[in-house]
Amino acid sequence: MGFLNLKPSAASVISFTWLCLFACESTEPLRIVHNLDTLNTNVDQPYRTAYHFQPHKNWMNDPNGPMFYKGYYHLFYQYNPQGPIWGNIVWGHSVSQDLVKWSSLDAAIVPSEWYDIGGCWSGSATFLQGGKPVILYTGNTNASQQVQNMAVPKNLSDPLLREWVKIPENPIIVPERGMDTKNFRDPTTGWFESVDMKWRIVVGSLEGSRGMALLYKSTDFIKWEKTKHPLHSSESSGMWECPDFYPVHVSGKQGLDTNIVGSSVKHVMKASLGERGYDYYSVGSYLVDGDIFVPDRGSQDDELDLRYDYGKFYASKTFFDVSKNRRVLWGWVTEFDSQSDDIMKGWAGLQGIPRTIWLDDSSKMNLMQWPVVEVESLRGNKTVKNNTVLKSGEVVEIYGVTSAQVDVEVLFDLQRMKIAEFEEMDANATARELCSNIGVSHKGVVGPFGLLVLASNDLTQYTAVFYHIISHQTKLKLLMCSDQRRSSTLKDFNKTTYGSFVPLNHPKKIVSLRVLVDHSIVESFAEGGKSCITSRVYPTSTDLHLYLFNNGSSTILCRQLNAWNMKTTNNVY
């Protein structure tokens, strides 16, 4: 069966109220409303990023409702306009024409009614008939209950979508009797099915310790009815925050509209598990007739299941970018310093580099992720260092780069490795535990080898991003680690070590690594995007360097290294 990209009729979607709201179009010229507030100028700002997205000041968390509309990318996000700690949450709003350079607008949705006076929390955007965008979001009511609400653009002719109107029918979904009213939030992007000519959305929920993606149906996108069973759920996972549900093509990198189903399509069910602080996902089949998702393996209640990112990355949201036929992933990256530090510097939180996401052709079970191609437009002066032999214990500096603001791509040649030489690691240990136990100073057979970033000249400070090839559970595995234990002399922030296993098909002898460094964030991509680790670090040295290193007993050849100085985006606020 081929793809079914089904569009409902206008009559099945838009109510009389909506027609009145959508009719309010004008020809007002474009005008971006800048936030002219300044940062805390009394504090040095060494940890502000240069090319990652973050508001000019104050608190930011979840990305919300990303979309492409009339030539502009829109990113909404949870934002506190009153300070750098969580609270007073509104929908911040910024626009871009390239996903790199952003301009901020006035807040899109702010608390104003009984059904959202306690905060306008996370949600999603959906395009209805005629390409008309709508937003679903969670409101915290005056009774501290969570309900789902809707907002529509006031002026569809405005490509910046500067003003949004809450519909009179709000709240459109309320928790049923017996449901946990404080754990009922974050509606997904809607999709339409021809089986019953109804729209569907998912809302995250909790029943005891069971996390759930509750499924709701509607013929008009206003009146919703909960199905008898969730789309998917898992025991002992805790609350499912910010669920996301979307199709991926079984072959190729092209993205798919959320409405598409077919025999050449898999679906992704993702949930942010607050008790663990990570985003888990499963790839599987969406059975439309039964309204159920069946994962190909594991589920969100499996500690060893798949994650978008094995570091600091949460509350993610994807959208289908119709302009380039791709699915793009955004993720919130939190701070690791103290709340008092955030108050002093005047801001907290940023967004990871947006990533193109697709299904891994080799496994059909895990996703690939890669920085959107537009990021490469920020590449400046290039440093090349090829065929560098790294003997045991060697550290080689990469000159000619601005080490606090750099994009590095490396190919390591492992031609000399022999499978009989690999050391056996604790079969019961997770990748993170192995990275913590091994560390960068461990002298293995093949590894650790990789990069030292944001490193001081005397190597008393650095963040190590490295590989180690090991035998684990009788299998050859590529272990990827991001070790922050020596990243700073500051003592009041978490210096967690992260790790993941990267799919490695022996006897492959070339492994790749890409690392984006931006002052206080390090994003690492293994093997073309098979695994990702994001870290937040706060180096105290002002003289920062970039190094290649090998601490294993086997000689490693760095076949190719390309490093680019990254330009500052000069975002407009």
Residue 62 among the catalytic residues = yes
Please name which of 204, 210, 193, 352 lies closest in space to residue 286, comparing C-alpha atoms: 193
The answer to whether the beta carbons of residues 77 and 123 sit under 8 Å apart is no
- Strands, DSSP E only, in 398-473? 405-413, 424-425, 446-456, 463-472
Helix (H) or strand (E) holding 559: strand 556-566
Please name which of 76, 114, 538, 64 lies closest in space to residue 341, comparing C-alpha atoms: 538
- State the catalytic residue, choosing from 37, 44, 62, 279: 62
What is the dihedral angle through the alpha carbons of 229, 234, 238, 244, rounded to the nearest 10 degrees?
-70
Tokens of 17: 């109220």
Q: How many CB atoms lie within 10 A of CB 518?
A: 22
Quick one: how far is CA 382 from the chain centroid?
A: 28
- 237 contact partners, CB below 8 Å, separation of at least 6: 209, 210, 211, 271, 273, 275, 280, 300, 301
The answer to whether the beta carbons of residues 50 and 405 sit under 8 Å apart is yes
Amino acid present at 9:
S
Task: Give phi and psi for 199, each to the nearest 5.
Answer: -80, 155
The DSSP code for 29 is: P
- 29 contact partners, CB below 8 Å, separation of at least 6: none
Helices (H), 303-447: 339-345, 431-438
Amino acid present at 520:
S
Give DSSP secondary structure letters for 249-284.
Answer: ESSSS----TT-BSTTEEEEEEEEETTTTEEEEEEE
Render the burial of 50-71: b for 16+ CB within 10 Å, e for the rest.
bbbbbbbbbbbbbbbbbbbbee
- 397 contact partners, CB below 8 Å, separation of at least 6: 545, 546, 547
Please name which of 111, 112, 192, 116 lies closest in space to residue 148, comparing C-alpha atoms: 116
- The span from the CA of 70 to the CA of 132, in Å, is 11
Please report how many Cα atoms fall inside a 13 Å half-sphere around the Cα of residue 208, on the Cβ side.
Answer: 5
Tokens of 378: 């920020």
- Look-up of token digits 């888990």: 280
Please name which of 190, 241, 174 lies closest in space to residue 212, comparing C-alpha atoms: 241
Mind telling me the catalytic residues?
A: 62
